[in-house]
Homo-oligomer: A and B are copies of this chain.
Amino acid sequence: MIIILTPEATENDLQDLVGNLKDRGYGVHISKGVEKTIVGAIGAPDEDKAVIAEQIESFRYVERVVPILKPYKLVGRDFHPDKTVINVNGVEIGGEKIVVMAGPCCVENEDQTMETAMAVKAAGASILRGGAFKPSTSPYGFQGLGEDGLKILARAREATGLPIITEVMDARDVGLVASYTDILQIGARNMANFSLLREVGETRKPVMLKRGLSSTIEEWLQAAEYIAGRGNYEIMLCERGIRTFETFTRNTFDISAIPAINGISHLPVVADPSHGTGKWSLVSAVSRAAIAAGADALIVEVHPHPEKALKDGAQSLRPDKFQLLMNGIGAIAKAVGRTV
């Protein structure tokens, strides 16, 4: 931790700070510059550094505290340099092959789900997505079919052989959802729902953790650390766009987050161009970009009849457009030394 004193700080203030830090077990280095005095505090590894930084920042004579972050112990590359590969019923995420998850935003009924599952499988997808529990900004919006939706997904898995991924929104439903699904999805709105993170951390199902709408990359990795801290290391990080001032797209897809995560974490990265853009006409281009930037997987919304979709119709691809997307990403994957 680096502590910068105010210009008004006196020698007494400095001694007071040094004493305080030594009492906490820190080693202390003092640097007196022309305009500022800076104090480095080293060691004391067992305490919560963020808490102490805030305490020190409340001192009258302290201008600013710069924390020197501890590496993410479990999800960072520092202590785990090799990329994690997650095996979901034989589908490997994080390996050479780019994995495509596709399906409707919501499970609406058996026909729609089955038709979509067949179509995305035919086009080359490896995993079926579909929501049974749905977050809805409006209390009057569609909230999903619940367990009935999970049953439909399970039948679609049986019919197609595709593993399934579906969202869990409530810590009380983790057991139920885990009993049906192959991957548990944590949605963007729940990225900082720490009770839910701990609960999925207790399962041994792979988890796909979506980035929160206003979450920094560091906060996202800390959320993953919550899950890993309970012993579940099979975590994928899903970039799905952040909230910015731009309104042309629904969110701003943060393409740089993909190589950034690849640099600091060993976890596989999934790109969600459907939520990332909110417009079906931009989904293919952003899918290609994500793979070119190093994504390990895509998750794409496909609906046979977007004009009748109960949610996210504007960002869902029809099966024929999805087929074109699949055709287009093959060459990109090859260009970065991977396959689809």
Binding site for B on A (CB under 8 A): 2, 4, 7, 20, 27, 29-36, 38, 40, 42-43, 45, 48, 50-51, 54-59, 66, 68, 70-71, 78, 135-143, 169-172, 189-190, 192-195, 212-214, 216-219, 222, 225-226, 229, 242-249, 252-260, 262-263, 276-277, 280-282, 285-286, 288-294, 306-316, 328, 331-332, 334-336
- In the bound complex, residues from chain B placing their C-beta under 8 Å from that of A35 are 45, 70-71, 78
- The chain B residue sitting closest to A29, CB to CB, is B31
Q: Are A256 and B249 in contact (CB under 8 A)?
A: yes
Q: Give the most central of A59, A217, A260: most B CB within 10 Å.
A: A260
| Residue on B nearest A262 in the bound complex, by CB | B285
| Residues in B neighbouring A33, C-beta threshold 8 A | 42-43, 68
30 contacts between A and B (CB under 8 A): A2-B38, A4-B68, A36-B68, A48-B142, A50-B138, A54-B312, A54-B315, A55-B307, A56-B307, A57-B314, A59-B307, A135-B192, A170-B195, A190-B193, A216-B245, A216-B246, A216-B247, A217-B248, A242-B244, A245-B245, A247-B247, A249-B256, A249-B260, A255-B289, A259-B286, A289-B289, A292-B292, A292-B332, A331-B335, A332-B332
Give Cα distance in the complex from A135 to B36, angstroms: 28
* Smallest CB gap from A48: residue in B: B141
Decide: B51 and A42 in contact? CB cutoff 8 A: no
> Which B residues are CB-close (under 8 A) to A276?
256
> Does the CB pair A260–B280 fall under 8 Å?
no
A33-B42, A189-B193 given as contacts; is B139 within 8 A of A306 (CB)?
A: no
Contact B247 A242 (CB under 8 A): no
Residue of B42, B225, B243, B310 near A31 (CB, 8 A) is B42
* Alpha-carbon distance between A194 and B134 when the two chains are bound, in angstroms: 10
Contact B138 A225 (CB under 8 A): yes
A286 touches B293 (CB 8 A): yes
Using A253-B254, A285-B292 as known contacts, list a sample of 17 further A-B pairs with CB atoms less than 8 Å apart, ordered by residue number in A.
Answer: A4-B68, A31-B40, A35-B70, A35-B78, A54-B311, A54-B313, A55-B308, A58-B313, A137-B222, A170-B195, A172-B172, A248-B256, A252-B252, A256-B277, A258-B289, A262-B285, A335-B335
